[in-house]
């Protein structure tokens, strides 16, 4: 895009534009490479995500049980029940998250290796489960 100002004439040559485009691509590539998390940080982030999901489900279930017990006057009943339900929900979330992270890791590995046969196979089995 050329901006024309009265009394001032500028023209951008095609070679200057191509040079600018190349420098922008190079800068974006450097930016993406610099912001790529290390495998250690990625693993720590995934572990923290799983731990927080498990803890949050247990805490929510426990507080729901305490609240219901106080409201209904049935002191340990709902606390125990919702604690167990919170644990079950937390473990289900952990299993779901772990499966998702495993699927992503396989896709990344296949993309790096250049063979996407495992990705196609895992996607096909997921589609079969969704339909069944």
Mean pLDDT (whole number) for 69-97: 94
In a domain, 32, yes or no: no
List pLDDT tens digits, range 15-48.
677 788 888 898 888 887 777 767 777 888 889 9
pLDDT beyond 60 at 117: no
d(CA 16, CA 109): 39
Most confident range, picked from 5-9, 19-23, 34-38, 85-89 = 85-89
Print the domain residue range for 123. 43-127
3-class secondary-structure state, position 116: coil
d(CA 71, CA 69): 5
Question: Residue 4 contacts by C-beta under 8 Å, 6 or more apart in sequence?
Answer: none
In a domain, 97, yes or no: yes
Predicted model pTM: 0.58
Domains contained in the chain, number: 1
3-class secondary-structure state, position 5: strand
d(CA 84, CA 48): 22
In a domain, 89, yes or no: yes
């Amino acid at each position: 895009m050329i901006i024309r100002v009265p009394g001032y004439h500028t023209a951008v040559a095609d070679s200057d534009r191509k040079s600018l485009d190349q420098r922008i691509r190079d800068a974006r590539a450097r930016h993406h490479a610099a912001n790529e998390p290390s495998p250690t940080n990625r693993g720590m982030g995934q572990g923290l995500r799983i731990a927080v999901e498990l803890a949050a489900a247990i805490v929510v279930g426990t507080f729901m049980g305490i609240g219901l017990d106080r409201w209904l006057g049935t002191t340990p009943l709902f606390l125990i029940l919702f604690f167990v339900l919170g644990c079950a929900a937390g473990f289900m979330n952990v299993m779901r998250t772990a499966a998702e992270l495993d699927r992503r890791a396989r896709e990344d590995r296949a993309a790096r290796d250049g063979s996407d046969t495992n990705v196609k196979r895992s996607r096909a089995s997921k589609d079969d489960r969704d339909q069944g």
